[in-house]
Amino acid sequence: MIEFNNIQKSFGDKTVLHDVSANLYAGKCNLIIGTSGSGKTVLMKCLVGLFEPDHGEIRYSGVSFTEMNDEQRKELRQQIGMLFQGSALFDSLTVEQNIMFPLDMFTTWTLAEKRKRVNEVLERVNLKDANKKFPAEISGGMKKRVGIARAIVLNPKYLFCDEPNSGLDPQTSMVIDKLIQEITLEFNITTVVNTHDMNSVMETGDHIIYMYQGLKEWEGSNKDIIFSKNEKLNKFIFASEFLQDAKAMRMLEASGKIDSENKDELLK
C-alpha cells in the first residue's frame, strides 16, 4: 500500500497540489483521473520521487519515502515498475534487450538467468518469440506490452502506468487494460494508473481519485462513480450524450428496473 498525506507542491507562485491525501491499495487498480492541469501528473511524479513535495509525507508499506536518503530510495525503486506513456523503448535495442535493461542495472544474474526471466514475462504478456524484434518492427499495442513486461521483470510491489492507452485504438486499449488488471491481481501489486480513458475508469477502476485544480475532489470505485452527485466529476466523466446514456442504463440496472433482456431491447 502507498499512503500520502497533505501533499502540497508549487512551482514558483503557482500551487499545483493543495494538501492532497489518499491511500493506494495492493491488488487494486488505483486510478488518478482529471482534466489537463488538474495536478494528476504532478501527483504521480511526487509519488515516485521525480518531484519533491513542498509539504506532506509519502509512505510505501508503512515506511516513509519522504525521509529516505538516496541509497534507500534506490533500493525502493527496484520494487517499482513504470509503464511510460510512449512506452519509452530503446529503439536501438531488441525487445529482449529492452526488457533485460532493469536486470542489467539491478541484478548480478547470469545471461542465461536473465534470458529465462525475459522469456517468462514475454509469455505473460502474450509476446512469446518476439525477443529479437526491434521496436520499429512491432505495433503500438505490442510496444505497450513490451513496456509492461519490462515494468514487471523485477517482480515489483508497485506499478505506475502513465496514460497506458495513449495512442491506441479502443480494442487494443481494452487488451492493455485487461492485462494490467490481471497482473495487478495475480501478483498483488499496488498499481497506480494516470488516465483520462473513460473505458479504463469504468472497467478497471477498483479505486479512483478524481483531481480538480490541484485538489482531491472525489474518491471511490467504478461502481460508486455511477451514482456520484459531484457536479464537477459528472461533467468530466459524462461529457458526451453517449456516456450520459450509459450512466442512466447502469443506474437502471443497479436499481433492478431493467434486466439483460429488456436492456438489449432498449439498446436496439
Rounded average pLDDT over 202-212: 93
Nearest to 84 by CA among 145, 162, 178, 193: 162
pLDDT given for residue 247 in this prediction: 53
Residues of the chain with pLDDT > 70, as a percent, come to: 89
pLDDT tens-digit map of 47-67: 999 999 999 999 999 999 999
pLDDT given for residue 84 in this prediction: 87
- pLDDT band of residue 170 (cuts 50, 70, 90) is confident
Rounded average pLDDT over 251-259: 52
Could you tell me the strand order of the sheet in which 2-11 lies?
Answer: 14-24, 2-11, 55-60, 63-64
- pLDDT band of residue 181 (cuts 50, 70, 90) is very high
pLDDT given for residue 262 in this prediction: 53
Lowest model confidence (mean pLDDT) among 5-9, 25-29, 171-175, 217-221: 171-175
* Residue 257: pLDDT over 60: no
Could you give the C-alpha distances from 125 to 119, 157, 159, 250, in angstroms and in order?
10, 18, 15, 31
Cβ-contact 14, 135 below 8 angstroms: no
> Can you give the residue ranges of every domain in the chain?
2-221
Neighbours of 84 (CB within 10 A): 17
Lowest model confidence (mean pLDDT) among 45-49, 224-228, 260-264: 260-264
- pLDDT band of residue 241 (cuts 50, 70, 90) is very low
Contacts of 235 (CB under 8 A, 6+ apart): none
Query: What average pLDDT is seen over the chain?
Result: 88
Rounded average pLDDT over 229-234: 89
Rounded average pLDDT over 216-233: 90
Cα 235 vs. chain centroid, distance in angstroms?
Answer: 22
pLDDT given for residue 17 in this prediction: 96
- pLDDT band of residue 99 (cuts 50, 70, 90) is very high
pLDDT given for residue 196 in this prediction: 83
CATH no. for 2-221:
3.40.50.300
pLDDT given for residue 254 in this prediction: 54
Give the distance between the most distant pair of CA atoms in the chain: 61
Contacts of 16 (CB under 8 A, 6+ apart): 9, 10, 39, 42, 214
